[in-house]
Structure 1
Amino acid sequence: MFDSIAERYDLTNDLMTFGWDRVWRRAVRQAVYPQSGDQILDLAAGTGTSSKHLAAWGADVTACDFSEGMLARGRELHPDLNFVWGDAMDLPFEDNSFDAVTISFGLRNVADTKKAMSEMLRVVRPGGKLVICEFSRPVFSPFRAAYDAYLKTMLQVISRTVQENGEAYSYLADSILQWPDQDGLAHMLMETGWEDVEYRNLTGGIVALHRAVKGA
């Protein structure tokens, strides 16, 4: 599915979120706060939109994705980045390889969320951090109702004007609506061994930014 939407993926995201995805990705960079020389794994990196901002701060970023189409498009757009194919449930990296792992708008697309969380824990060094940026549940009830209606209707209308395979976004809308809320995701992180789990809402809870640390 993601191979078929790779070419216009970034444009579609900009249109569907009215440009807010750029704000959310900046929040990811601030949460990771990469230092020069840090080894960072950007999982479900897609075309490298988040990876390039992390690398701009001097980090050594590995952009990893399951979609060959996304990786190919990413290499075209950002030839200076290191793109690697990988399955989030069976990462092709040694234990304790990275100072930080981040995943933006991709965790809900993994078949086994807890398995992916465990794999991310495995490849991060003790004391290393995890930052998850993912769609969540708006906290204000009237706003939540309007947002749900948008996902069920306008999201597909917008995607079909840009993507040949606009039907793919029907799945994406369903995956957002079925995804655990902020507290639910936090509990899953704790259950898989992550420590110091916390989150903050972005744009009223449309997106939540979860942070966690691997114990020493």
Structure 2
Amino acid sequence: MTRAQLDKQPHEVASMFDDVAANYDLTNDVISLGQARLWRKAVARAVDARPGQKVLDLAAGTATSSLPFAATGAYTVPCDFSLGMLREGKKRHSWLPLTAGDATRLPFRDDVFDTVTISFGLRNVHDTDAALRELYRVTKPGGKVVICEFSRPTWTPFRTVYMEYLMRALPPVARTVSSNPDAYVYLAESIREWPDQPALAALLRKAGWEKTAWRNLTGGVVALHRGFKTQG
């Protein structure tokens, strides 16, 4: 899959994730060299869900990412536009209110959630600006957004090695554990094309989020961004 194919329509991306749903969590653990679970723990700490709060977990896939929020007693809504992912998630976590939804047209009212979060999914949204505006819309005044996404390693020698791993080693590894390795070639390309940490923070501010900041994980392989909605 080439860079020319990165400009996918939403139904194409949804279909791609439908194909990898069954082994998605396993594949992520393998290709991230075990780091994915540590990143999820960092997201849970940043979200800091509390009993009685409402949390939207966008691009939740099979809802594995939603479990730490729900475990705190927060009302957690896993949302994804891949029906294959949602079906797999429903098999595993039937008690969660898994919801089908497009990030650029969320099926929720204004000012509903205390926290909105998305992990490793914003890259795959067709219109990033529209998704950030929608997340802002459905967040309560005073609420926050937490975004976990692949980013740019801060140490130049490591960044070079990392990019080589993405393009050369990741696809063969994915072939051993994934039913659709081409999906992971696409993901590798999308990581290379994604904005760096300051650029994503700027997109957050453009969408209305304030007090934006980020924290690098694994040397910048992944970054946690946050922002707050103005109090009403």
TM range (shorter): over 0.9
Would you say 1:133 and 2:148 are equivalent positions?
A: yes
Is residue 66 of structure 1 aligned with residue 81 of structure 2?
yes
CA displacement 1:174-200 (0-9 Å, x = unmatched):
000000000000000001100010000
Q: CA RMSD of the aligned region, Å?
A: 0.5
Partner of 1:47: 62
* DSSP 3-state at the match of 2:99: strand
1:15 aligns with 2:30: yes
Q: What residue identity is the alignment partner of 1:196?
A: K
Partner of 2:216: 201
| Aligned with residue 118 of structure 1, among 127, 130, 133 | 133
Aligned residue identity for 1:48? A
Q: How far does residue 129 in structure 1 lie from its aligned partner after superposition? A: 0.5
Deviation of 1:79 after TM superposition, in Å, equals 1.2
CA deviation string 1:56-107 (max 9, x = no partner): 1111000000000000000111112110000000000000010000000000
Runs of 4+ in structure 1 deviating by more than 4 angstroms, as ranges, are none
Q: What residue identity is the alignment partner of 2:94?
A: P
- Displacement of 1:53 after TM fit? 1.1
> Residue 87 of structure 1: which of 98, 102, 107 is its match?
102
Unaligned regions of 5+ residues in structure 1, if any? none
The equivalent residue for 1:160 is 175
Alpha-carbon separation, structure 1, partners of 2:65 and 2:19: 20
1:85 and 1:6 map into 2 onto residues whose CA distance is 15
Any residues of structure 2 matched to 1:91-106 within 5 Å, and which?
A: 91-106=106-121
* Secondary structure of 1:8's aligned partner: helix
Answering whether residue 205 of structure 2 is matched by residue 190 of structure 1, we say yes
Q: Taking structure 1 as the reference length, what is the TM-score of the superposition?
A: 0.99
Pairs within 5 Å for 1:163-174: 163-174=178-189
Paired residue secondary structure (1:82): coil
| SS of the residue 1:176 aligns to | helix
What is the aligned partner in structure 1 of residue 42 from structure 2? 27
Whole-angstrom distance in 2 between the partners of 1:82 and 1:187: 32
Q: Distance in 1 between matches of 2:209 and 2:180?
A: 37
Q: Does 1:176 align with 2:197?
A: no
Distance (Å, rounded) in 1 between the aligned partners of 2:162 and 2:223:
15
TM-score w.r.t. length of structure 2: 0.92
**1:134-176 superposed Cα distances (whole Å, 9 cap, x missing partner):** 0000000000000000000111011110112111111100000
Q: Which whole-Å CA distance do the structure 2 matches of 1:16 and 1:139 have between them?
A: 20
- Secondary structure at 1:7 match in 2: helix
Q: Flag the structure with higher helix content.
A: 2
Unaligned runs of 5+ in 2: 1-15
Alpha-carbon distance in structure 2 between the residues aligned to 1:43 and 1:212: 16
